[in-house]
Structure 1
Amino acid sequence: MSFLAELLISAMLLASSVFIVLGSLGLLRFRDFFQRLHAPTKATTIGVGCLLIASIFYHPLISGHSSPRELLITLFLFITAPI
């Protein structure tokens, strides 16, 4: 695997973890029920989306062939996300 691909995958994983942690902190910080629902849904949707995009890049580089499974999961996530 090339250095650029590893860098891209690592950046997506780092962005994913940052968004998920920020969503968790938003859940702790806000006091109102609806604000507590709002912060984690946006941040976690983007965080899991970044994680799935990293998976989309990782698996073809390792196995040599791409699978539409990750793309379909990402599409389904963004269609059904409560944003």
Structure 2
Amino acid sequence: MMPCLNKKLFGVECPGCGLQRSLDLLLQGEFLAAFKMYPAIYPIIFLILFLGSTLFIKFKHSVFLKWFFATLTAGTIIVSYLIKMYNLYN
């Protein structure tokens, strides 16, 4: 696994820390462990699949759906990071 540069330089995890390990767990079939490692793994995968599918299939409200799924993904990343930092320092 690639080390987190932010963690090496500053000693603090970045919002992306755990994504590689979560993807590895997901590929091994450890779905719950992947979610526990990085809760945003499923919204990220869904967003990527949706964006890929819009290249071939036209949806009625695709612009709204893209923004919705992107906001959901970003929100999940931010909230899970804040919870991780809160638990780390308390």
* TM bucket normalised to smaller: 0.3 to 0.5
What is the TM-score with the length of structure 1 in the denominator?
A: 0.47
Structure number with the higher helix fraction is: 1
Larger RCO: 1 or 2 (CA < 8 Å, sep 6+): 1
